[in-house]
Amino acid sequence: MRDLLLLGIETTCDETAAAVVRRRADGSGTILSNIVLSQTADHAPYGGVVPEIASRAHVEVLDRVIERALRSSGVKLVEMDAIAAAAGPGLIGGVIVGLTTAKAIALAARKPLVAVNHLEAHALTARLTDAVPFPFLLLLVSGGHTQLVAVTGVGEYHKLGGTMDDAIGEAFDKTAKMLGLPYPGGPAVERAALRGDASRFALPRPLHGKPVPDFSLSGLKTAVRLEALRIAPLTDQDVNDLCASFQGAIVDILADRVRCALRVMRERGMKPSALVLAGGVGANQAVRRVLHKVAADGGTRLAVPPPELCTDNGAMIAWAGAERFALGLTDDLAVSPRARWPLEEVTGVEMAD
């Protein structure tokens, strides 16, 4: 196997991103460029992502983002081994923009196309940043996804548990909006929690101690709302205390559910090389701290990419594309964009054959 160079394109939500990554013959990797243009300011007035605004913004800037990624990498398009793009899951308008652009580039440059599952890209990022071997336990926590997955290979994903209602990132955002904090909500809640008393409000820990590592967040979110209504009007310190109590509950829930998943994984005969934290919520420092302890207590280690690689970016798409391309996995130009694409439906070498 030789070194591989891939261009990756990410447009599944409100980041327009492109990157160039090198995957070496020994399986290690280097990010040569990683350009991300955030649309946060465009969506802030609405308190959340507006799909029509997001897709239009991707159309307007994607060509320039790709050009910057190529220029910053010092690598020419003709030198790429393949073109990778997120083909879902995500906001379908944005997915169409990125995948169609990748198809056009692949066709014009006569390069293979790799259609990447956005969740798989999150799952495999720790192999780029921390050289994590298979198998490992993935905790994927973002605005749209909360799940625990045993990862045994590229295209080999075994879901152990997931959320029964809200994703954790969604719960952060909705709590922030409820308390009048700015968008994006996750970082705003984390900042407020630093100034708050986490013991002031006795909030629930849904499913704590249950034998299946599932999550339920709607009851916690409702409890925050009821406490806020009970003490209204809220002072700044009330908001800080509510955020600290909410974040404390999230941290406890995550610790309990991850311990459960580690136990289930071992019961199924898999010894995890690491606990991998992926997705935007992985940037939360309180979450990172507790999971370091949970991993150590469980006889493994926590592998978490740097914050800029936890949120959506092109490098994770390029890397996942390189991992798949190294196994001979490519896609034809008829591949369709997908709004929904569960991680467990992603295939690897055996099923592709």
Binding site as annotated, residues: 118, 122, 140-144, 173, 186, 190, 284, 312
Q: Name the one residue in this structure whose structure tokens are 């649309």.
A: 39
Q: Do 116 and 87 form a contact (C-beta atoms < 8 A)? A: yes
On the 0-12 / 13-18 / 19+ scale of CB atoms within 10 A, 52 is exposed
Q: Angle formed by the axes of helices 185-193 and 236-267, to 10°?
A: 110
Cα–Cα distance for residue pair 41/146, rounded to 1 Å: 25
Residue ranges for the binding site for substrate? 140-144, 173, 186, 190, 284
Cα–Cα distance for residue pair 298/275, rounded to 1 Å: 9
Residue 221 one-letter amino acid: K
3-state helix, strand, coil in the chain (%, to 5): 50, 20, 35
The b-or-e profile of 33-43 (16+ CB within 10 A means b, else e) is bbbbbebeeeb
Cα–Cα distance for residue pair 184/43, rounded to 1 Å: 9
Residue ranges for the binding site for Fe cation? 118, 122, 312
> Alpha helices, DSSP H only, in the chain?
40-43, 51-73, 92-109, 118-129, 168-178, 185-193, 218-231, 236-267, 285-297, 307-310, 314-326, 349-352
Cα–Cα distance for residue pair 69/87, rounded to 1 Å: 19
The whole-angstrom distance between residue 42's C-alpha and the CA centroid of its chain comes to 21
